[in-house]
Homo-oligomer: A and B are copies of this chain.
């Protein structure tokens, strides 16, 4: 059932737009899901995208706006009047509405907000704008179904029907007391299988998972994933129910978090896609490459200092890319495991124990690799001492690389810095330099130079 944007479809759309055939174009778009319309807008020229946006009704436009690429949305919003944006905002749930408003320049924000007709909606949005976008408050929507524990079932059902009109997906009915404090929940399923004559206070489930408005998005994601929740209520410091977070937003958090970590590990500093411009891609890639260049220059300077070895033992220099590669690879491996463990809240026990374990692991791996390297160098150069020098150095380089790879992300995490930046070029570069320095120092000692 996967929707595919075919060439024919795009040609059809373009020709409708050029001939201003609005009726068949509307009919065609009416058959297409808003998420797919968004993909089409990402593909076609911008003036055609604007034409479509202006043609669609504001309910569809608002959904499409949430789904297009960030840069396309920014451009579209620039083309719309404050009144037009306000109309889209009116159609959106408060969480999406607040996200759009937050993206606008400061003076536009005011303009748009003043055009929003539904005052309650506007108030909710302003409320949501207060929260950090990476917190539970930044993710939550104000739309939810809540009932008072003291209500009769009759009043409850009546109220629920009114509230449910505003809520696109009803997961749970939250039960609050007279002060708005969260007391428990009613499940829809319970409503389906329970007699309608039962009383609220008798049927609600007093146990309910909730998060605080200030909890981090990643923490909320971990909780919802762990407990298989599809929605979670959000409470403030007084345990007053202030919103709810649904799983679809959390799916996006998980996906984005994973992509960010992956890109950082690959040496890409900001969220880019293959289709971004060369300039954007350069901005994301060049800083890490430059760091790598500095590392290489550092390594070259170190090697320049050891140039007295060059005459008798040039093979040591032939092996420097190998040493650098091993130091880098081991560093990336050990840091990746730590970064992933930290993200999953899986790292228990002391840093000391972790370092000892990584040391043993690196020593084991290093020993096995060193045996192989020893045989190669001995066969190649027929020189026992050189073979011994490079193999022993390799083991020590690998152990140090493993320790750095383990320690750095743990250290950054303790300092409140995202440990994911420690993987990739950062660890590779520092390990290249340390690795080559250690390698020549040890080799010099063993060779007695």
**Cβ 8 A contact of A332, one of B210, B261, B267:** B267
**Whole-angstrom distance between the Cβ of A228 and the nearest chain B Cβ:** 4
Is A285's beta carbon under 8 Å from chain B? yes
**Whole-angstrom distance between the Cβ of A395 and the nearest chain B Cβ:** 12
Residues of B within 8 A of A326 (CB): 289, 292-293, 296
Contact between B300 and A227, CB atoms less than 8 A apart: no
- For window 4-51 of chain A, which residues contact chain B by CB distance below 8 Å? 33, 35, 43
Is A94's beta carbon under 8 Å from chain B? no
Say yes or no: A376-B297 contact (C-beta < 8 A), given A170-B189, A314-B307: yes
A selection of 23 A-B contacts at a CB cut-off of 8 Å is A43-B348, A161-B192, A164-B193, A165-B193, A170-B189, A230-B230, A254-B254, A258-B258, A258-B259, A261-B262, A266-B337, A274-B347, A274-B354, A285-B330, A289-B330, A289-B365, A290-B372, A292-B322, A304-B315, A307-B318, A310-B310, A321-B323, A329-B425
Say yes or no: A333-B285 contact (C-beta < 8 A), given A278-B357, A300-B321, A326-B296: yes
Contact between A333 and B373, CB atoms less than 8 A apart: no
Taking residues whose C-beta sits less than 8 angstroms from the other chain, chain A's interface range is 35 or more
Is A237's beta carbon under 8 Å from chain B? no
Say yes or no: A365-B282 contact (C-beta < 8 A), given A2-B223, A265-B265, A321-B436: yes
Is A325's beta carbon under 8 Å from chain B? yes
**Once the chains are docked, how many angstroms separate the CA of A219 from the CA of B226?**
23
Is A275's beta carbon under 8 Å from chain B? yes
Contact pattern, A 217-249, Cβ under 8 Å of B = 1, otherwise 0:
001001111111010000000000000000110
Residues of B within 8 A of A167 (CB): 189
Residues of B within 8 A of A211 (CB): 1
Please give the residue numbers on chain A whose beta carbons come within 8 Å of chain B beta carbons, in ascending order: 1-2, 33, 35, 43, 160-161, 164-165, 167, 169-170, 188-189, 191-193, 209-212, 219, 222-228, 230, 247-248, 250-252, 254-255, 258-259, 261-263, 265-268, 272-275, 278, 281-282, 285-286, 288-290, 292-293, 295-297, 299-301, 303-304, 307, 310, 314-315, 317-326, 328-330, 332-333, 335-338, 340-341, 346-348, 354, 357, 360-361, 364-365, 368-369, 372-373, 376, 380, 423-425, 428-429, 432, 436
**Whole-angstrom distance between the Cβ of A415 and the nearest chain B Cβ:** 19
**Once the chains are docked, how many angstroms separate the CA of A275 from the CA of B357?**
10
**Cβ 8 A contact of A329, one of B170, B193, B428:** B428
Residues of B within 8 A of A251 (CB): 224-225, 247, 250-251, 254
**Once the chains are docked, how many angstroms separate the CA of A226 from the CA of B34?**
10
**Once the chains are docked, how many angstroms separate the CA of A170 from the CA of B43?**
37
Contact between B262 and A340, CB atoms less than 8 A apart: yes
Contact between A219 and B165, CB atoms less than 8 A apart: no
Residues of B within 8 A of A337 (CB): 266, 268, 272-274, 281
Residues of B within 8 A of A373 (CB): 293, 297
**Whole-angstrom distance between the Cβ of A325 and the nearest chain B Cβ:** 5
**Whole-angstrom distance between the Cβ of A105 and the nearest chain B Cβ:** 28
